[in-house]
Structure 1
Amino acid sequence: MKGLDLLQVFTDYRPVDFQDLYGFPIRETKRRVFIHQNLKTYYSQLTDAAQDQPVPSAAFRQWKEFFETGNRTGFEKRYFHRRLMLGTAYIMAVMEGKEEHVKALEDIVWEICSEWSWCVPAHMKEPVRLAKEQLCPEIDLFSAETAHSLSEILLILGDKLDALVAERIKSEIDRRIISPMCDPACAYNWEKRTDNWSGVCGSCIGMTVLMIGSDKEKQIILPRIARSLDYFLKGYGDDGYCLEGLAYWEYGFGYFIYFAQMLRASAGVDLFQERKISNIGAYSDAVLIQPNHAFTYSDSSKMKIHPGIQTFLNREFPDRSGSPPSKPELQDDPCFRFGHMTRNLWWHHPDSEWTKHAERITTYYPSAMTVIHHSGEFAFYAKGGKNGEPHNHNDLGSFMVHAFGENLFVDLGAGVYTAGYFGRERYEHLQPSSKSHSVPAIQGKEQKPGSESAAVLIKQETGRKSAFLSMDLTKAYDVEDLRFFSRSFLWKIGKYGADLSIEDTFQTKGMIHVTERWMASVQPEWDGRSAVWETKRGIAIGTPDQQPERIRVETISYQEHDGSEKTCWMFYAVYRVNKVERLTWHFDFRLKG
């Protein structure tokens, strides 16, 4: 990218201050917060969280648990609570400015500086290897975030901190982040990843160096960060689509926004002028449906984005369709990330930063073979792509429908993260496997993972009231007697509702069994001819052209990413298919009354 290329030679960086970071002078913090009820409520949540409490210990047993059982929860709950204490202590020290708040901040900063590693165990090497290989300290997402947090605290409140605390911040960041990033012998795999890792790590380290790095350190590290962020942006199509889903778009691109905004203030390099950056920013317009609903796919279960990011994008790109910023809630981010927490409070202005909401209709993303259509009460999503994407799910040919104010036909999003979830048994877990998606099982076999398991586009057309997508999905299945399998979607908006037709075409060597599956958030009923999904506000009726041999409804209990228990329902329709055959289902969505 042109903007990032400038970092290879640019050396004139000016120091940044509170106004550069947050958009207004530090003396106006209370006025900016207390004129908005949403922000007052959010600040009250932060204040409650900042009440005097013991710092959770970083116990060795919880740390080691991941390597013994694969469980991440015990250690990470303590780790993230410490980050909550850090963020709230900083905000209180800025907003209230009292000695007691500065002392509380010093205490939690000291504790975090004393942590053996800022990485979480799930991102680290085996303990024995780790103890032997410390020439290049490990840098993961959360260690980079911690360095950014402490750098920002030092920049804004360094003159109020005890000199020993301030010096310790500098020393620990230098030892863990800046020195290894200045050493060409220390290479990190995230630097060439095309997913959220390069975006978060690169952006956090970039901000750290801009805030506290020497001129020499900037000259060494920023070109390295530029290369890493180039890899990050390569993970997006030119159309701006995020293969990892909304949660990881918000994470990776959110931190990219924080860095790019700081870079513009410090060096005058404006990355937001790049067309691809604008397209990536507009991605959320398509995936968000309402303030608290979104299309969930890949390992993303997120239903809204942080209002600080949304406010910034609405202001930066006024011609996009945009969405009104959601109400900030502390619990929206269970990792309590410093960047989100501060920008939600000081960037978010729900009344003044959003003045229009242009109509959203159809978006086709050729980079992912995905179509998204919005129209009033209804929204539709269907995808092709590959089964070898970042945070991959085996979901070629899957779809979602939002109707009657809720996500009706669904993708379950992310499961609980464990060692196994990212290991060889990944597709034995419900969410990543095709068992949890509205795609067929063929001869009892599920879709296979891997980049070779890819959809091939046959045809797509989009219009104001309709969307059509047809794809060859033969490569998604390893079935000996399957010669060809395609799926076509036709979505139409009518005067009284919406209609969806799904046509599956098979060519086989002989007779095979096909089980069509429809995953929904509502329990269906079979009336002998059609399946019926009824909600408080509407009804969806699914009618096949060919009656199945048998039908079955399964209640599926599962855990969401945060461990909460949820229920959904899978409708199964079993067919015999021989030689050449088409299986077509028509879904009719109608509001009640």
Structure 2
Amino acid sequence: MRSPAERLRAEIRTAAAAAHARTGMPDLPFSRYRRFADDGNRLAYETPYFERRAHVLALAAEALTDPAAPTDDLADALWSVCDEYTWALPAHDLHATALGRGMEQCLDLFAALTAQMLAETVAVCGDRLDARVATRVREHVDRRVLSLLADDERLLPWEGWAHNWAAVCAGASGLAALALWQRGPRLDRLLGRCRRAMETFLSGYGDDGGCAEGVGYWVFGFSHFVYFAEELGQHTGEDLLSRPKVAAIARFPGAVHLGGGLFPAFSDAEERPRIPAGLAHLLTERCGAHFPPEAVDSGMPRDWGDLSRTLRWADGGEPLRGPAPAPVHLPDLAWVVDAVSDVAFAAKGGHNDEPHNHNDLGHFILAAHGEMLLTDLGAGEYQKGYFDAPTRYDFLHNASRGHSVPYIDGREQAYGARHTATVLRHEVHEPPTRESTSRSTSHAPTRSTASPACTAHSPGAAAHASCSSSTTSTSPGRCRTRRCSSAASNLNSPHAMGCCGRRTRRAPPCACPRTARPRSSRARP
């Protein structure tokens, strides 16, 4: 059987052949760029944007895997990317406007990822790439991304965000600098900021290693933490993977796997995220983590970091399958998961101001034989207003009415960190039975003064609710009963909070690997 890296090389050959057959890349005209500001549409610009990145990725991957590959088409692609008005997405303009910069110096997720891909491609190609192209790439990576961290002491918004943005932006920027720069004061300053951003990223996890953003966002954020950590270690000898909590974070996907490559799609997560094979191999070796083989992906990825590290780290066999699943309680995240048999159950507590928050305290899902029976809608289409606190819960996917939680006197749950659900007791019995009791403070007060999708109300009398579900396994002699009870008091946050936890009337536009809509009927994560 071919290794994951060998299978990926075959995919690269196919993708590169298709890229050579195309006549250039799609244009990014102003008429598409303006759509987000004009009517909230993200796909009009982001679809051709990511087609362009996929074109560059295929040609760069060919150069990485085949030293004899021609580089003329790659040179044209790199030159064209340097011509772009901005490497960021229009929806992320906060990261320029907050600092009084133009969009050329908007350092968002995808500007950082672009810088990493271009920088490492130039480093890999060396003399095979025309010197004029290589010089221009170096200049643009420096001006658009690296100088903002090395030469300007003002903090970027994402440097204080304890979720995937900090890891992706800092990790990709740091990797670009390590690829292009020699040791010196500028590199030292930049790496110092990247290290601090990584500490911020890790602070968003509890000791249980659980990721409130779900497994898809775990992949996006934690992978770039790992890629940066390994490269930094080669340059400095330090080991970020030895930090507290890292091993627990690495084990998160294996802990919450529901079977058949299915994972809980709480918040803006997706049901079937893919785990890059290189990441899975590295974390198995370094952290003792295990990943379900059906969720490990050795196909053509959409991210240069995933591709290059799978080629580097997954040239052996498949990752080893982990031990048999056991019921899981993640106390910091307040999730419970039971996937011991062919029937899998998961429920969540937490609070209603988590990253990519949905007002879904007490929500539960049920799956059987790798298919979802009682599901979660996951993310809606990412569009204008989706990440703005005043309008976020107008979207069905984010509001209580889009989840398996009770209405109380016609009221939905309220938004804000004050509204919580905690697991009071978690027991595992033989034959395997688990009971979880939750207490929540999530519902709007008795007297409502807002629309059904809003959460600003006055204090009133306490409300109580309970819900229960039971399932019987199809396995002979194995019966499970699961019950969840909750009590809600009438508290409500006096502030509008963004999806990234910032106390603001307008939340940061996105905290995503998913740019417009999640998978299945949706677009690129």
So what's the TM-score if we normalise by structure 1?
0.74
Match of 2:505 in 1: none
Contact 2:162 2:202 survives alignment (8 Å): yes
SS at match of 2:339: strand
* Structure-2 change in CA distance of 1:137 and 1:321 (3 Å): closer
Report 1:176-255 matches (<5 A): 176-214=144-182, 215-255=184-224
How far the C-alpha of 1:256 sits from its partner, in A, is 0.8
SS at match of 1:420: coil
For 1:230 and 1:446, the matched residues in 2 are separated by: 36
Match of 2:518 in 1: 561
Deviation per residue, 1:322-365 (Å, 9 max, x gap) = 322634333xx6xx22112333444334x624234211202211
For 1:143 and 1:471, the matched residues in 2 are separated by: 42
Return the match for 1:316 from 262, 266, 286.
286
Contact 1:467 1:490 survives alignment (8 Å): no
Contact 2:266 2:378 survives alignment (8 Å): yes
- Asked if residue 261 in structure 1 is aligned to residue 227 in structure 2, the reply is no
What one-letter code is carried by the residue in structure 2 that aligns with 1:281?
Answer: A
Match of 2:456 in 1: none
How far the C-alpha of 1:270 sits from its partner, in A, is 1.6
Match of 1:437 in 2: 403
What one-letter code is carried by the residue in structure 2 that aligns with 1:339?
Answer: G
Report 1:163-562 matches (<5 A): 163-214=131-182, 215-303=184-272, 304-318=274-288, 320-324=289-293, 326-330=296-300, 336-349=302-315, 352-423=317-388, 424-462=390-428, 465-479=432-446, 480=460, 482-486=462-466, 495-502=476-483, 504=485, 561-562=518-519
Is there any run of 5+ residues in structure 2 with no aligned partner, and where? 447-459, 491-515
Match of 1:531 in 2: none
What one-letter code is carried by the residue in structure 2 that aligns with 1:422?
Answer: F
How far the C-alpha of 1:483 sits from its partner, in A, is 3.7
SS at match of 2:20: coil
SS at match of 2:190: helix
What one-letter code is carried by the residue in structure 2 that aligns with 1:372?
Answer: V
What one-letter code is carried by the residue in structure 2 that aligns with 1:173?
Answer: V
What one-letter code is carried by the residue in structure 2 that aligns with 1:469?
Answer: S
SS at match of 2:296: coil
For 1:445 and 1:477, the matched residues in 2 are separated by: 6
How far the C-alpha of 1:88 sits from its partner, in A, is 0.5
For 2:317 and 2:3, the matched residues in 1 are separated by: 13
How far the C-alpha of 1:311 sits from its partner, in A, is 2.2
Report the number of matched residues. Answer: 478
How far the C-alpha of 1:271 sits from its partner, in A, is 1.9
**Structure 1 residue ranges, 4+ long, deviating more than 4 angstroms after superposition:** 31-36, 129-132, 486-494, 503-509
Is there any run of 5+ residues in structure 1 with no aligned partner, and where? 1-30, 510-558, 566-593
SS at match of 1:442: coil
* Structure-2 change in CA distance of 1:144 and 1:266 (3 Å): same
Structure number with greater Rg is 1
* Structure-2 change in CA distance of 1:438 and 1:422 (3 Å): same
* Structure-2 change in CA distance of 1:200 and 1:171 (3 Å): same
Q: Which stretch shows the higher mean deviation, 56-65 or 464-473? A: 464-473
Contact 2:216 2:270 survives alignment (8 Å): yes
* Structure-2 change in CA distance of 1:182 and 1:291 (3 Å): same
More strand by share: 1
What one-letter code is carried by the residue in structure 2 that aligns with 1:359?
Answer: A
SS at match of 2:105: coil
Return the match for 1:61 from 13, 27, 31.
31
SS at match of 1:441: coil
SS at match of 1:460: strand
Q: What percentage of residue pairs aligned between the two structures are identical?
A: 31
For 2:400 and 2:204, the matched residues in 1 are separated by: 23
Report 1:115-130 matches (<5 A): 115-125=84-94
Return the match for 2:20 from 51, 60, 63.
51
What one-letter code is carried by the residue in structure 1 that aligns with 2:167?
Answer: G
User: 1 or 2 for the larger relative contact order (CA 8 Å, sep ≥6)?
Assistant: 2
For 2:80 and 2:158, the matched residues in 1 are separated by: 27
Match of 2:500 in 1: none
